Amino acid sequence: MTSPTIDDGTRPRHWRSIAAVLAGLITIFALSLGVDQLLHELNVYPPWGEPMNETGDNLLALSYRIVIAVFGSWLTARLAPSAPMRHALILGGIGVVLTALGGFAAVSMGMGPAWYPILLALSSIPCAWLGGVLARRPKS
């Protein structure tokens, strides 16, 4: 026997919330990897699979990833059905976890300095907050 379901209108909003966060996450991944690929193709970065130990290369990556994270968070906040800042900060929390896991793996494999993924993880929440602030709709 199944219990009856009540359609109180929250289900579509729930899916729109998930879609807003996924849109920001996918945008951040796509843009970050796209810029990475471009810089590898232009020989700014060493070939894929080789360590990237140059401080300048890591600072360049950190700088554009911060801009991209703010943009992805802005997008998430703009697409959120309600509470845009909460959605942006959820994306920031996901960013902390994913960058920490990726950073641990990269450092373990000797692919670059430890400070880069640490700063990337630490910047996730501030970037998400800034994206949420920038997405605030002006009051009419």
Check pLDDT > 80 for residue 4: no
What domain range is 83 assigned to?
14-43+53-134
In a domain, 8, yes or no: no
Within a domain: residue 9? no
Inside any domain, residue 20: yes
- pLDDT for 2 equals 53
Its pTM stands at: 0.88
Residue 11 has pLDDT above 70, yes or no: no
Residue 2 lies in a domain: no
The CA-based angle 30-36-42, given to 5 degrees, is 135
Give the E-state strand segments of 10-75 in sequence order: none
Of the listed ranges 3-7, 55-59, 113-117, 127-131, the least confidently predicted one is: 3-7
**Is the CB of residue 86 less than 8 Å from the CB of residue 126?**
no
